[in-house]
Structure 1
Amino acid sequence: MQLKALRYFLMVATTRSFLATARHFQVPASSVSRFIATLEKDLGRQLFYRSTRAVRLTEEGERFYQQAREAVELLDAAVDDLGRDDGALHGRLRINAPEAFGRLHVAPLVNQLQAAHPALEVELQLTDAYIDPVQEGVDITVRIGPRVDSGLIGRTLAAQQQIVAASPAYLAEHGTPETPADLLDHRCLLYKGQFGRQRWYFRESPSQPFEGINVSGPLCSNNAEVLLAAALEGHGVVLFPSWLYHRESFAKQQLVPLLGAWEGSVATETSYIQLLSPENKLRSRKVREVTAFLLEGFGTPPAWDL
């Protein structure tokens, strides 16, 4: 059984495409098909259902995929641990992050990382959906939310800080809210995601529970940056994590932070920014060093909270 055949199998299982696998490895699609056919013959099992429209794993293929992936990852981790004389990182690394956070804060660090390690191939997946890193084969997951016992191992970067803000032009026309209850009389710009329109919560101290208020306004969107742009244009009040704002927006007084005496949230629990990996991934020197690189790049405390 050839290692190349296993790598082709894992890629076809991930992409559900012989053609995409061939493009990834820069080989003819016929070569991928031939290796997969040989692998199935060696195992005496059909691994894929094939049709003109899709490729998917059989039940036996699913079982083999989990074991084969772990075996190949262990082999790659062993090669990583041997290292190279120049200490360079190489090979493939998968990172998953929330869409806006990944675009604003992870992607620039990935560019720096690859400048320092040109042989490192990074697959950066940006999605607001919670994924299972084990099932998806992701090495490092940036997760924003409450701490939960997920079986993953990693580091907490910081608690997520939420900031209420509006433009000076909006405040001049509509007045400045002094308490969270005052927001009921203001035009609030609301994020609407897969769980519906967000509710806003506030508390005066960490010892108190968050209390929700039913704010409303002229615009809701599933894109936070659309709402932030509307706030900059004077159309209403927003509540967003500090990492989403551009710091110069406050420095240049394009936006004014509000309700500083209260802690705002869009949930009843504190959210944290975490870097998580499956336990077996942390055997890889590459994963450990990239995790450390990201943590250093974000800063402690994070640069966006300074």
Structure 2
Amino acid sequence: MTVADPTLARVKPSRGRAARERAAWAFVAPAMIAIGLFFAFPVIAALLLSLTDFDIYALANLDNLRFVGLQNYERLMTNPLFWGAMKNTLTFAVLGVPLSIAASLAAAVILNARVVKWRPIWRVMFFAPYVTTLVATAVVWRYLLHTRYGVINWGLESIGLPAVDWLGQPSTSIPAILMFVVWKIFGYNMLIFLAVLQTVPDDLYEAARIDGAGPWKQFRHVTLPAIAPTMLLVSIISVASFFQLFAEPYVMTQGGPAQSTVTVLYFMYEEGFKWWNLGSASAVAFVLFLCILAITLVQLAVAKRVGAYQ
């Protein structure tokens, strides 16, 4: 009878594990390199850029580049244009996030009902705006909202109401853009809600009906608790999306009228590519990142407190 060498028994598994680790790193390496080159490196470079006075003169000659520390951030804190852009962005987020979530959840609940006919067709129709080109749809909506020959004003005048200059006055420009943004993105959130609604067991609804619960109580006590973690995810995604609005006001109003639709990202674009204050624009980007991070942490804390996730 041959006795196995215990030394070989220890060496062979360790060699096999090392080979598996090398293979794993070989598969992961391309993705890690891509993340490093196209995400980590630009983020670090932008952070360093925000600590300099990099402008068009430094772009022409790097000898003009100076390290200014936190001066760009200090100037932002005293810039009324930046605070105006922050106010507009918060307005978009505070109004748009609940509207977007409500519209997408309502559409998901309706399409999840078995009594609705042609559900696949409705799903495609609701999701189609999300996958269409943003600039093209923004241009179409700009003409729909036109004061003189827009379809929406034509509909208002046909029922005896006066035409509205939707994009030409501060009081209606933000609501007009909000209508477009909610219409554009609610289909994506709808699919997320629809997917999680289909995982809720029918036994829960059956038990609620036996206990005498109507549709509203079923929705409140069965549906909402079951989709609470998904609701948190959708709210985080929606907040980040509304804080990064740029193309919509850029195409539809160019930040007007009277800068009433200038968002933080739009302000950053003008600082960097209109005035060539790239150091200041980088500072705006990091302030925006900190705002989104802070709001996300608050959402997570509130959700944990109410038991939306563990």
Same fold flag (TM > 0.5) = no
Counting strand residues as a fraction of each chain, which structure ranks higher? 1
- TM tier, shorter chain? under 0.3
Question: TM-score normalised to the size of structure 1?
Answer: 0.22
Counting helix residues as a fraction of each chain, which structure ranks higher? 2
Larger Rg: 2
